[in-house]
Structure 1
């Protein structure tokens, strides 16, 4: 499982290679039309005696919603099949990845996946079940640099169509739209807060922050999960609304280590006009050792209980990161 993408290539050969280079795994199409896998040592084995789909070149996952991966689709007719395949990926800082097995309506899928990753904090692994055609699995995580996922199982097709690999990426380390009631904020000071549904930057809701008349600065904070942040470029943002306006309002992003040590922070604080939703944005670089982040909405200068502030659509996104599926990633269907 501990495969590295630099050691994978796809070859179009009529006969098995005599011997792959040391440490290299070779996939090739034989003269009989079947897909073969030859490991770094040992004899070549048939991957599938029926239909196969192989990614012909490295492919960047460009969609943040579920979409077909070009080149990884197999036309099918009704029947039962054995599903197998392996997906390799490289992961840039702050990037997530999710995959699905897409299929015609009515298809029944019962499969497993085994994931192995290499990364900044060592190797990792995961496994699980896929049932139905809406089941998904995460195959890329922040702090991982390479991933290999092995798929295996059965699939029953009732309508003709295409069985295909689908994928999506996410750069969101934090994304809260407050479209429904939520639990607690991760921190608050100098205020009380509540979810309201009568105002919002995007309908239907937002968080209302009411200063508690203590004379302290107002702080309302949300944190990412541990491990969702790593060194790299990020954009933090939030939309704020002040019915009366205020002289010092904005956001602050703070970086934390795996040991809850503060590594630094940046702020964007300005006067906010009355009665207008205003976006506050910080473009910042998370330092080495960053493991999580806190985005705080702030009001400075001792606001009173009348100086209500609303916030909505809070986000921390990685910038410029990519998720790439490697040439040679494949899956196969064998009629049974």
Structure 2
């Protein structure tokens, strides 16, 4: 739906009126069908009509990992200088990431900014040197957010300005080649840059058990029901291990475990094997817990060693919804 905000069609004076007295302004129709504004000093400006395109109904985006156009949220533009404003109201799955960007005809940009609100408060980003298809905001992980962008654009050729929505889920890969990992540890020490053996590249993570208890690397992430996840890791035990593990556990808002997925089995001596779990977060899920390492079993003891490499933890589905009433506005300057 496109709304054209235009002035009333009034009789056009043949000459500009005299400047108004101090403390007043004069408004009158110009010959180009724009509303003119004159100050007591005789300065004259044009008040130009704006074009606002409003999203008529919710738009659902489910192609995780891709940018997709938002149908119905685009506006034609002729060459000229404009103030461009985008306002969007978005909901998304818990733990997912959303983003917005604009595309359009050849143009140069002045100052541009993105701002909005989400669950942890307001945010603002100055976008100096903005270009079409640049991200309008860093990825925002919030189930509900309001976002806007505003700035000047000089359009140099006719075309259409469109809005694209980006959807992403967590996609974390650890090959240990940079000697770093974001996982926490329980019951183990980790050398994140071991060169003893590697499944791919030159390095792997070396887990060494503290005692006879489990020895794992782990992490948490917010997520919601119906989101698909996969966790995989390549494991290597020089002398074998009775129970290598890759597991996902689902928890509710109260921190109670709902269920879990586990790939627990022996790791043969001096052989790389892949452990993997794939599944969908069940109803009531608010958070997930992932772990990789050694579980307690006969033969596991302090000093047990397990090498970990090429870990992949990612969401394979998700959704974001741009709500009806979001709008794109183009105002001539």
Mark yes or no: TM-score above 0.5: yes
Structure 1 regions of 5+ residues with no counterpart? 1-27, 37-47
In the alignment, is residue 221 of structure 1 matched against residue 242 of structure 2?
no
Q: Distance in 2 between matches of 1:247 and 1:58?
A: 52
What's the CA shift string for 1:276-327, capped at 9, x where partnerless?
441411536467584x54321121341686844223233152x754212233
Matched, 1:59 2:55: no
- Tell me: CA distance 1:69–1:53, structure 2 relative to 1, closer, same or farther (3 Å): same
2:279 aligns with 283
Take 2:106 and 2:313, find their aligned partners in 1: how far apart are those partners? 35
Native 8 Å contact 1:199 1:205 kept in 2: yes
Report the CA distance between 1:187 and its aligned residue. 1.7
Partner of residue 312 from structure 1, selected from 310, 313, 319: 310
The question of whether the paired residues in 2 share the 8 Å contact of 1:210 and 1:305 is answered with no
Distance of 2:273 and 2:51 partners within structure 1: 54
1:235 is matched with 229
Instruction: Name the SS for the 1:137 alignment partner.
Output: coil
Quote the offset at 1:335 in angstroms.
2.5
Whichever of the two has the greater Rg, that structure is: 2
Give CA-to-partner distance per residue, 1:178-213, whole Å, 9 cap, x none: 464425532242343213689776x65764224257
Find the aligned partners of 2:153 and 2:317 in 1 and give their Cα distance. Answer: 37
* More divergent stretch after superposition (266-275 vs 323-332): 266-275
2:235–2:244 CA contact under 8 A, matched in 1: no
Instruction: Quote the residue 2:247 is aligned against.
Output: 252
Q: In the alignment, does 2:158 pair up with 1:163?
A: no
CA contact (8 A) 1:112 1:130 kept: yes
- Tell me what 2:125 maps to: 128
Q: TM-score, normalised by structure 1?
A: 0.65
In structure 1, the residue matched to 2:100 is 99
Residues 29 and 280 of structure 1, relative CA distance in 2, 3 Å threshold: closer
The answer on whether the counterparts of 1:104 and 1:159 sit within 8 Å (CA) in structure 2 is yes
Residues 136-193 of structure 1 deviation map (CA, whole Å, 9 limit, x = unaligned): 3258644x3x443233222234566543322211232x62344644255322423432
Instruction: Tell whether the 8 Å contact from 2:172 to 2:314 is kept in structure 1 after alignment.
Output: yes
Match for residue 44 of structure 1? Answer: none
Q: Does the 8 Å contact 2:263/2:275 carry over to 1?
A: no
Tell me if structure 1 keeps the 8 A contact 2:58–2:323.
Answer: yes
1:176 touches 1:313 (CA, 8 Å); kept in 2?
yes
| 2-structure distance, mates of 1:90, 1:207 | 39
Unpaired stretches in structure 2, ≥5 consecutive residues:
7-47
For residues 57-206 of structure 1, what are the structure 2 equivalents within 5 Å? 57-61=57-61, 62-76=63-77, 78-103=79-104, 107-117=108-118, 124-131=121-128, 132-133=130-131, 134-137=134-137, 141-142=141-142, 144=143, 146-157=144-155, 161-172=159-170, 175-178=172-175, 180-182=178-180, 185-195=183-193, 204=201
**C-alpha distance 180-105 of structure 1, shift in aligned 2 (>3 A):** farther
Structure-2 residue corresponding to 1:209: 206
The structure-2 alpha-carbon separation of the partners of 1:150 and 1:191, relative to structure 1 and needing over 3 Å to count, comes to closer
- Contact 1:242/1:308, CA 8 A, preserved across alignment: yes
Q: How many residues align?
A: 281
Aligned equivalent of 1:270:
265
